[in-house]
Amino acid sequence: MPDAWQPKIDPYLDSELSADEMRGMDAHLRECPSCASDALRRLQLKRATRLAGQRYAPSAQFRSRIEKQVAKKSHAVRRWAWVPALVAPVLLLAAVVTVGRWYESYRSQQVLAELADLHVADLASPTPVDVVSSDRHTVKPWFQGKLPFTFDLPELTGTGYTLVGGRVAYLQHEPGAHLLFDVRAHHISVFIFRDTPDIERGFPARDSRGRVLSFNVESWTHGGLRYFAFSDANPEAVEGLCSLLKQAGA
């Protein structure tokens, strides 16, 4: 029959009794064979559990992996403990550069989109050019007094390109020449503006070639002027006209 000490046998074996209770239990077990036998059985089970429970050992590879993981992270923190002091300005600088680049790209795309609009709008107009002539000696003088700069046009005879004419166009409030050329059944718009700081900021690339809204686009600078060529003709056709214009301006 269980006595008052029996519920304390497990805590006794687990060393969870107070010092006084431990001494009391020691004394009781010497006098009570039933509790002593019960305590012995429980102690045997506890020891058996302890031995059986120490069953699994980690592999050397796993131990090495964890050691490296802990050492690496721990040392990384120590080695780079000074980083937080510097990381904020660096991140800020990176953010500024990233935003700056993004904004530069954004503005370039804006410039090209604006020119593409001009190209499309003029072609859609019943009067895409204000001076209609295939003669460069007629078209070029037409711009006199209309633009704060002048430019040279190449002789196109026998090149496959035809000068259609031109008109004044505006980019970022800056007047420029919009020249229209034909090559086979395609139109090529060539825009010429002064390479002002505003336009340079808007389109910092000195020379570039690519596609915008599926138009083939080429841009270059020469003699303080910025040239943009737009067309749905193939890149080679655009490049050929650009080469002629570059030679004329050289």
Partner 1 sequence: MSAHDPSAGFEELAMPLFDSLYNFAHWLTQNRDEAEDLVQETYAKALKGFGTFQPGTNFRAWIYRILRNTFLTSRTGLAASRTVPLEPEDDQEQPLAASTETPESILLREAGQQQVQAALERVPVIYREVLLLCDVEEMSYQEIADTLAVPIGTVMSRLYRARKALRAALAGKMREARHA
- Please report how close the Cβ of residue 44 comes to partner 1 at its closest, in angstroms: 5
Instruction: Note the residues at the interface with partner 1 (CB under 8 A).
Output: 1-2, 6-7, 9-11, 14-16, 38, 40-42, 44-46, 48-58, 62-63, 65-67, 69-71, 73-74, 77-78, 81-82, 84-85
Asked if 230 contacts 218 with a C-beta cutoff of 8 angstroms, the reply is no
Name the residue nearer to partner 1 (CB basis): 57 or 250.
57
Nearer to partner 1, 7 or 210 (CB): 7
Give whichever of 82 and 173 is closer to partner 1, judged by the CB atom. Answer: 82
Cα first-last separation, the chain: 117
Shortest Cβ 95–partner 1 spacing (Å): 23
66 or 97, CB closer to partner 1?
A: 66
The CA–CA distances, whole Å, from 185 to 24, 26, 156 equal: 112, 111, 16
CB burial of residue 107 (10 Å; 0-12, 13-18, 19+):
middle
Minimum separation from the CB atom of position 69 to partner 1 (A): 6
For partner 1, the closer CB: 50 or 173: 50
Residue 185 phi/psi, 5-degree rounding, is: -95, 10
> Is-contact 244 161, C-beta < 8 A?
yes
| Smallest separation (angstroms) from partner 1 to the CB of 16 | 5
Q: Residue 27 is encoded by which pair of tokens?
A: 């004394």
Contact status, residue 177 vs residue 168, Cβ threshold 8 Å: yes
Minimum Å distance from CB 62 to partner 1?
5
C-alpha 31 chain-centroid distance = 82
